[in-house]
Amino acid sequence: MSETDTVASKGTPPSPRTRVRRMAERADYETATLHAILDDAYVCHVAFADERGVHCIPTACWREGDHLYIHGSNGSRMLKLAAEGAQCCVTVMHLDGLVLARSAFHHSMNYRSAMIYGAFEVVPAEQKAAALDAFLNHIARGRVNEVRRGDRNELAATTILRLPLDEAVSKIRTGGPSDDEADLALPVWAGVLPLALKPLPPERVAAQAGECPDDAPDYVKAWAQRAALTSR
């Protein structure tokens, strides 16, 4: 797969290992770009090493300020290691399209991706509830005001970690194929097959003894509207 230059590099790499070397024009070191990529994500991949080797684990994530947050059971191997300060590499990626060129070589993909290096820090007990509120708001804004919040035992059983966004880089490819001049006349379809993660109609779980209100909250209605729009 080839990588052609479509986006000029923005900003300055925060460290030698975040300097994009291949297709450096696609690098973006701006905070706003990083935040936008992270805020579009529900999941990141956390890579770390232990005595069994190198691992890369998908997990839910959310951003608040200058940190990326993850959470889970206190028993999680990944969270235990990360809480101890293990060096990690976290990635987030959105696939925006398949790029079909006239030659096999120049096929590519459009994407927005981010990579963050560093060590997670443990979110202190007194900040856990607010951090989980932010997570719920990331999933569905306003839901935090409706659900039963975590009780003392649930909060105690949950580890929340945050990774500073100090050492991070984004890389983005947009646009069509970059065919060789000599191939432009070939009778081959060329272009982009766009891809997107899109909402589908909400699926309500049957109410149990009237526990679930009939009228859906605004964020569910908005989801349904987006689903209807994108299905056309």
Ligand X SMILES: Cc1cc2nc3c(=O)[nH]c(=O)nc-3n(C[C@H](O)[C@H](O)[C@H](O)COP(=O)(O)OP(=O)(O)OC[C@H]3O[C@@H](n4cnc5c(N)ncnc54)[C@H](O)[C@@H]3O)c2cc1C
Buried b (16+ CB within 10 A) or exposed e, 6-20: beebeeebeeeebeb
Alpha-carbon distance of 89 to 50, in angstroms, equals 13
Q: Does 1 bind ligand X (CB under 6 A)?
A: no
Question: Could you tell me the sign of the dihedral formed by the alpha carbons of 69, 71, 77, 83, in that order?
Answer: positive
Among 17, 77, 149, 198, binds ligand X (CB under 6 A): 77
Alpha-carbon distance of 183 to 165, in angstroms, equals 43
Which CB sits closer to ligand X, 111 or 135? 135
Given a contact cutoff of 8 angstroms between Cβ atoms, the answer to whether 129 and 155 are in contact is yes
List helix spans (H) across 54-194. Answer: 77-83, 125-139, 152-156
Q: Which residue has the tokens 């109609």?
A: 201
Q: How far is the CB of 216 from ligand X (least distance, A)?
A: 24
Binding region for ligand X (CB under 6 A) out of 26-34, 72-80, 90-98, 178-186: 72-80
Q: Does 43 bind ligand X (CB under 6 A)?
A: yes
Among 67, 71, 112, 171, binds ligand X (CB under 6 A): 71
Other beta carbons less than 10 A from residue 98's beta carbon: 14
Q: Does 55 bind ligand X (CB under 6 A)?
A: yes
Among 78, 92, 116, 131, binds ligand X (CB under 6 A): 78
Among 47, 57, 100, 144, binds ligand X (CB under 6 A): 57
Q: Does 204 bind ligand X (CB under 6 A)?
A: no
Please give the size of the binding site for ligand X, defined by CB under 6 A: 12
Q: Which residues bind ligand X (CB under 6 A)?
A: 43, 55, 57-60, 71-73, 76-78
